């Protein structure tokens, strides 16, 4: 196995561990340019893991609000699922989504709610 393939495989596994998922696009990128994806993953980990003042769960709640504003239901759902794995309750996630309605409007709120409903259904199996 080549060094680049080993690096890509290890990076993909690390991304899955960090996030609980990996999008096919990131896997493709990792297999084709593992150095670039490694740099991105380092930024991801710095931004969304525990910080000095904010824990990873709180950072995920911030991220899902921004993603809801951007209208990306699937990304919001992915971050909701990670927030749940980090200990966020359904109520905490709902309140984070509710917070979005004033600055982001009803469309942001509905994107967040749709993602939350999908995440709950996925967790229930």
pTM of the complete model: 0.87
CA end-to-end span of the chain, whole Å?
A: 37
Contacts (Cβ under 8 Å, ≥6 apart) of 114 = 73
Q: Tell how far CA 92 is from the center of its chain.
A: 16
Percentage of residues in the chain with pLDDT exceeding 70?
100
Residue 121 pLDDT level (bands cut at 50, 70, 90): very high
**pLDDT > 80? residue 51:** yes
Residue 49: predicted pLDDT: 94
Percentage above 90 pLDDT, the chain: 90
Q: Return the structure tokens found at 106.
A: 């009803």
- In this predicted structure, the answer to whether residue 11 has a pLDDT above a threshold of 90 is yes
Task: Read off the pLDDT band of 4 (50, 70, 90).
Answer: confident
Residue 83 CA to residue 90 CA, distance in Å, equals 10
CA angle centred on 55, ends 52 and 59, rounded to 5°: 110
Question: Residue 55 — pLDDT band, cuts 50, 70, 90?
Answer: very high
Q: Determine whether domain 53-125 maps to CATH 1.10.20.60.
A: no
How do the domains of the chain map onto residue ranges? 1-48, 53-125
Q: How far apart are alpha carbons 95 and 56 in whole angstroms? A: 17
């Amino acid at each position: 196995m080549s060094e680049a393939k080993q690096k890509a495989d290890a990076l993909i596994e690390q991304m899955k561990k960090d996030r609980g998922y990996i999008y096919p696009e990131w896997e493709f990128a990792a297999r084709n340019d593992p150095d670039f994806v490694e740099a991105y993953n380092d930024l991801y980990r710095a931004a969304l893991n525990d910080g000095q003042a904010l824990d990873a769960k709180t950072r995920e709640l911030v991220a899902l609000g921004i993603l809801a504003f951007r209208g990306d239901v699937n990304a919001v759902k992915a971050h909701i699922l990670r927030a749940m794995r980090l200990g966020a309750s359904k109520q905490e996630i709902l309140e984070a989504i509710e917070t979005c309605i004033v600055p982001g409007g009803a469309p942001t709120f509905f994107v967040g709610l749709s993602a939350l409903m999908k995440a709950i259904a996925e967790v229930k199996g």
